[in-house]
Structure 1
Amino acid sequence: MQVTYILMAVIGLVTYFAWERPELHRRLMLNPYTVVHEKKYYQLITSGFVHNNGIHLLLNLFTLYFFGLAIEQIFYTYFGELGLVLYILLFITAVIVANIPTTIKHKNNYNYNSLGASGGVSALVMAFILFDPIRDLCLYAIICLPGYILGGLFIVYSIIMSKRNTDNINHDAHLFGAIYGVIFTLLLRPSTFSYFIEAIF
């Protein structure tokens, strides 16, 4: 069984069980105040495995399905069995890294919570774009653009929305997850950068 399917199943099951147990749901989500002041560091990871509602869960699993399978195959092609470990490492560490800026930003706000796999998923999307920058990617099956353009727009949009802070979406997690995905991929395979530049020009 491919690792992506296992990851999707784990995320789905943890989310479901957390929905059935509100107290567990509360403990697993990211609350920056308790992370910093009560040292509940595990929330930096567990928050990536719980979701707010069905739509939230399905959107992340849908994206994980397409880009996770692609990155899993790419990593396996380049690194063999080690690539599967690196793939999981990318996702898990991206969830953690994506949550750190939010934790610092809201460390004294007891009422702020964040949850979802978006940080890890954003990292996988950006990693894929580095490997295949000119392939068209579609936003909600409506707007289709080359990956490098859509990725750039996504980063700009995340920065703008993070500054506005007018909705309940953690745009910081999207932004830093995406940036981390780029850094992780380039450190892992530096030649990807030259391929990316050659492909788009």
Structure 2
Amino acid sequence: MITITIIVLTSIVSILAFRNNAMMERMIFYPPAVRRGEWHRLFTYGFLHADYMHLIFNMFTLYFFATDIERICKVQLGERAGALCFIILYLSALLVSILPTYFKQKENRSYHGLGASGAVSAMIFAYMLINPMNFMGILFIPVMLPAFLFGIIFMLISISLDKKEHGGINHSAHITGGVYGLLYMIVLFYLLADINLIESFFSQIRIDSLSDLFHIGF
């Protein structure tokens, strides 16, 4: 399974980089280095993480959502084409999600970035598009929301925090990655499988009672 391969590779690279500062410095997102032509950093930063908690959280989230997206791509597009399109989604999401940060920080010699959050966000929003009524939540918070509502709230909070540049988290990557994940899946499935995911999304949303809007508990 491709998702497992990505998780294993990311975990190995991250753990090695925890113990090797030179490796970390070669791979981390650093705008001045990108300007000098070190374009690989626009991808390699996504295989690094700040610490074990950062790594575990991202990889757990990736596993939960990306396995479903990988399966759907293979079912709808065929095993080989689906696998290729899934790989392209993940790698291109790493690139696209960091671009706004690059243009904003390209003169900033003190800025460094790392983590797979942008690509993970792309997978989360791709999942929301396909399964809008599946319930989702955040670890340790006992409130579950339908995916479409979770996505709206997540995006609004991310936009607000990004404007405040809050907490040292790259909210811009979450926003851009999420939007990219939606657009990629919509275009991909329309062109290669003649499936209208926008129409499918809205046809699935049914609100008959409050229980369709939230659950208490995990």
Q: TM-score range by the shorter chain?
A: over 0.9
Q: Which residue matches 2:184?
A: 184
CA distance in 1, matches of 2:129, 2:26: 36
| 1:96 shift after superposition | 0.3
Q: What is the correspondence of 1:23-172 to structure 2 with a 5 Å cutoff? A: 23-36=22-35, 38-81=36-79, 82-142=81-141, 143-172=143-172
With the length of structure 1 as denominator, give the TM-score of the two structures: 0.96
| Superposed CA offset, 1:75-107 (max 9, x none) | 111011211111111010001000100000000
Residue type at the aligned position of 1:180: Y
Number of positions where the alignment pairs a residue of Structure 1 with one of Structure 2: 199
CA distance in 2, matches of 1:169, 1:60: 13
- Percent of pairs with identical residues: 33
CA distance in 2, matches of 1:121, 1:75: 16
| Structure 2 portions without partners, runs of 5+ | 191-195, 207-218
CA distance in 2, matches of 1:75, 1:39: 34
CA distance in 2, matches of 1:166, 1:9: 30
Residue type at the aligned position of 1:10: L
Greater shift, 27-36 or 58-67, is seen at 27-36
**Residues 162 and 170 in structure 1, CA contact (< 8 A), matched pair in contact too:** yes
| Structure 1 portions without partners, runs of 5+ | none
Q: Which residue matches 1:199?
A: 204
| 1:141 shift after superposition | 4.4
RMSD of aligned C-alpha atoms?
0.9
CA distance in 1, matches of 2:97, 2:183: 13
Question: Which protein is bigger by CA-based radius of gyration?
Answer: 2
Residue type at the aligned position of 1:200: I
With the length of structure 2 as denominator, give the TM-score of the two structures: 0.89
Residue type at the aligned position of 2:199: S
- Where 1:139 maps in the other structure, the secondary structure is coil
- Where 2:145 maps in the other structure, the secondary structure is strand
| 1:185 shift after superposition | 0.6
Residue type at the aligned position of 2:131: D
Residue type at the aligned position of 2:29: L
| 1:166 shift after superposition | 2.5
**Residues 34 and 110 in structure 1, CA contact (< 8 A), matched pair in contact too:** no
| 1:18 shift after superposition | 1.0
CA distance in 2, matches of 1:154, 1:42: 30
Structure 1 moving runs of 4+ over 2 Å: none
CA distance in 2, matches of 1:60, 1:178: 14
Residue type at the aligned position of 1:89: I
